[in-house]
Structure 1
């Protein structure tokens, strides 16, 4: 039910969590799943939920591994297969990271055009200048160089009824500041501003400026 979810965390697995709640309310007697990797790709979570369900008298049958948690005498096989499932996720994560690093070395940059005022994706796949929006960007820089504060720039933009990248008439000071700090407007691409610590916690960490790469 949780399509597109890696299974390394239960936080965003809404249907999985709903199933666990139903188990606690005694509305489910038995869980049948294709394999341990479908149940969880996090060894700790896998064992934790299996123990909780076992205490409730609810078994989990893993068809591929031929395991019934109510009749098993040891958690060793669960931990073993669970670690395999987790290792698979870690391997996929490393492959994705390798692909991104290779793209960086080749000068390939992803642009968030939805939030990038002044540019759109061109027919050749490269950034293309949007003339009207470009004039707004130039005005923002000019006002800043003239000594205007973020609030002052915001007031000017709104008085001229200029639109944001999302088509809004109301400007946010933090958005104006992000435009002024965006290196893409001077032709640079600052990559890996953040990275995911690991595929289990999905914690995003900011990278210090001297560790980044500019193309």
Structure 2
């Protein structure tokens, strides 16, 4: 039996590391006593209420791919602390013939012991829910005392003794600037673009977060403009988890908010904050989805790699990085759509003049015949080998009957013989499949060649069939990557 051992602890604290080692030793002893094989130990340092655990997912994938025969866990709560996930794992194992054993004796599908699966799953979920509620109540108590309960303070603030204090750097002034510019009529994208071009550190960079980006975005500006903490009020509990088994969050109602007025020094006067909220409601509108143009998702900036954006006022395309973040990110790389179309049409028409249609079609027919003949020769050879192996099996049984070989030798020879036959049968099927695919591909190529030779208009379908990618250089010169320069027969 190949065993997949699952070990989970909730954190990487020292006492949890000791628990991790203890669990592993339990499994090593258990597997040794049973005389089974260890395939792998899967370790997660996360809560058991979520299915999004890297190594749990690997364990499930390996079980589905028949790499293991049994899943071992210390108890069901190590695998899952919510009923839905518990039953997902149970059903997956039943459907793929994988067993589950917990060392506490509650679950052992080898012995048919599954009747307690539901009660244990429910019990662990309830325990996790109660723990979650206790944590939420603790955080609410801190919030009611005027203590900030988040791990990252709002941009412009720092945390000292659980209270928000204005930072002694430029970030408070950046917050004031964002509010003032918005009231002056600038849009959120425009504000974000200027901050990026001036090299102002983003909130994620100031907080020291991993993989923090240096680009300001519309969403970042919106979060700052709508954050009531800047008025001096401590407003917490604005969102909460839907349940202990879900990472989704829902917006709290006004009655559920925990508001402590004047809990800390404000960065933004209250009247300015309210004026901004009023302006945001006036400016809100439904923005239609961007219209797709001929070269959308095929034309890219040669320097920064961003997709080219169509601009109707230019009747062409500009670099997406430049369009969104300005000249610090990239230059415009502008090109007229008509210029790009005519360039491609000229290239294809020039290529068409070099093609002998009848010659290439004849070559394709010949290629198909050669492929079928080659496959047939291979199949004939395989059939002869299979017949020879079947004859050899008859000789083996005769040797056994004449007591010239013993039963063990016979079994070894038959096993080896059957393995060779099975490999040849697989090879035969692959050859037949390959033959069909070659014919299908050649027929498809003939159809595409005919369409290519009759080309008279650049449509999206033709464009994506003939071109992989277009890169636009800084001076607007296109570099076109065609799928082929001319049809070739090898």
TM-score by length of 1: 0.82
The answer on 1:171 being equivalent to 2:211 is no
Return 5+ residue gaps in structure 1 as ranges: none
User: How many residues are aligned here?
Assistant: 211
* Residue number among 19, 24, 32 corresponding to 2:59 in the alignment: 19
1:56–1:112: structure 2 CA closer, same or farther, 3 Å change rule? closer
Distance 2:92 2:108 in 1: 15
Q: Is the 8 A contact 2:147 2:162 kept in 1?
A: no
SS of equivalent residue, structure 1 residue 76: coil
In the TM superposition, residue 119 of structure 1 has moved relative to its aligned partner by 2.1
Between structure 1 and structure 2, the one with the greater Rg is 2
Residue deviations 1:154-182 (CA, integer Å, cap 9, x gap): 45545655443326764323322322222
- Return the match for 1:195 from 240, 244, 247: 240
User: Which one of the candidate residues 105, 123, 129 is aligned to 1:65?
Assistant: 105
| Superposed counterparts of 1:118-197, under 5 Å | 118-122=156-160, 124-126=161-163, 127-154=165-192, 156-157=194-195, 161-165=199-203, 166=205, 170-197=215-242
The residue that corresponds to 1:3 in the other structure is 44
The match for 2:78 is: 38
Q: Equivalents in 2 of 1:81, 1:108: separation in Å?
A: 38
CA distance 1:111–1:95, shift in 2 (3 Å): closer
1:208 aligns with 2:208: no
Q: 1:187 to 1:47 in 2, by over 3 A?
A: same
Greater Cα offset, 101-110 or 164-173: 164-173
Given that residues 29 and 58 in structure 1 are in contact (C-alpha distance below 8 angstroms), is that contact kept between their aligned partners in structure 2? yes
Q: Deviation of residue 141 (structure 1)?
A: 2.4
The unaligned stretches of length 5 or more in structure 2 are: 1-41, 207-212, 261-490
Match of 2:148 among 99, 105, 109: 109
TM-score (norm 2): 0.39
Which whole-Å CA distance do the structure 2 matches of 1:204 and 1:25 have between them?
A: 34
Conservation of the 8 A alpha-carbon contact between 1:190 and 1:212: yes
Q: Distance in 1 between matches of 2:162 and 2:142?
A: 15
- Counterpart check, 1:56 vs 2:87: no
Instruction: Give the distance between the partners of 2:195 and 2:82, measured in 1 at CA.
Output: 49
Shift of 1:66: 4.9
Higher relative contact order, chain-length normalized (CA < 8 Å, sep 6+): 1
The 3 A distance-change label for structure 1 pair 79 and 66 is: closer
Q: Deviations over 1:168-211 (max 9, x none)?
A: 76432332232222211110122111111110133311123454
Q: Aligned partners of 1:89, 1:129: CA distance in 2, in Å?
A: 38
CA contact (8 A) 1:2 1:13 kept: no
Structure 1 residues 185, 36: closer, same or farther in 2, change over 3 A?
Answer: same
Contact 1:33 1:62 in 2 (8 A): yes
Report the counterpart of residue 370 of structure 2 in structure 1: none
**2:116 maps to which residue?**
77
Cα shift at 1:28 = 0.6
Q: How far off is 1:64 after superposition?
A: 0.6
Q: SS of the counterpart of 1:171?
A: coil
Shift of 1:99: 1.0
Return the offset for 1:112.
Answer: 5.2
Greater per-residue helix proportion: 2
